[in-house]
Structure 1
């Protein structure tokens, strides 16, 4: 069988903050066919500086705001998310604010994992959220 890709299978890369992502060496999202993998979003500004330092809920909201921008780029919504993995340096604080996810996922919750980690990319960051999307 020939190794040829149809146009829909050709990876489409998306950079939310190109300079930062190139400096750190990653793409924020990659779409192949109907599948989209989205790198972990953290609470940062367009220069890569942490935002909402010391405010867990606002960091969480900032993550979802960035994820929403990426989903919209691909004409998707949170209804198209099939997997959500949350990484946090403070699981008790995440559990305290986890109900906020009901404002994000209005129709159904995706699969996924909640993982307590020792640290994220920068010490001021307390939460990182990554997604997998399936869009018909």
Structure 2
């Protein structure tokens, strides 16, 4: 399946936990659970599920691009929420990004994330057509 490529986002948790923001093997790209963290390390949009979902998707998109993929290559997304009753706000952000791509998508409720100010995290999987990297 080709060489393994890892993508880092600069999160201080990456070396501590021992993970990469994204991993590409051959034409498959997996983006790790992505939290709504700003470039300065602070939580983006506290209390705003829509804004936080947009931020998660922005981070995931940057990771995809660093791995040689694009949103058009996305085959699956997972939206994890601490309160699934707020799914419509997350879905609005997801729909704005993926309405024409329409990946397989799952919304799940989780008990919590590392930071209690994060009500949402996003995972993304992609398959890059014709890739041999």
TM-score normalised by the chain length of structure 1: 0.85
What is the match of residue 50 of structure 2? Answer: 57
What is the match of residue 98 of structure 1? Answer: 91
Superposition deviation, residue 65 in structure 1: 0.9
Larger Rg: 1
Moved more, 13-22 or 37-46: 13-22
Q: Extract structure 1 runs of 4+ deviating beyond 6 A.
A: none
What is the match of residue 36 of structure 1? Answer: 29
RMSD between superposed Cα atoms in Å: 1.7
Superposition deviation, residue 53 in structure 1: 1.1
SS in 2 for 1:75: coil
Point out which structure has higher relative CO (alpha carbons under 8 A, 6+ apart): 2
Conserved 8 A contact 2:8-2:21: yes
Q: What do the CA deviations read for 1:103-136 (whole angstroms, capped 9, x no partner)?
A: 1014231113211011011111000000111001
**Distance in 2 separating the partners of 1:124 and 1:26:** 22
**Distance in 2 separating the partners of 1:28 and 1:97:** 21
SS in 2 for 1:9: coil
What is the match of residue 86 of structure 1? Answer: 79
Count of residue pairs the alignment pairs up = 129
The unaligned stretches of length 5 or more in structure 1 are: 1-7
What is the match of residue 23 of structure 1? Answer: 16
Superposition deviation, residue 91 in structure 1: 1.0
Moved more, 125-134 or 41-50: 41-50
Q: What do the CA deviations read for 1:3-47 (whole angstroms, capped 9, x no partner)?
A: xxxxx6221111111543112321111100000111011101235
**Distance in 2 separating the partners of 1:18 and 1:95:** 28
| Residue 12 to residue 89, structure 1, CA distance change in 2 (3 Å) | same
TM-score normalised by the chain length of structure 2: 0.87
The unaligned stretches of length 5 or more in structure 2 are: none
Moved more, 24-33 or 48-57: 48-57
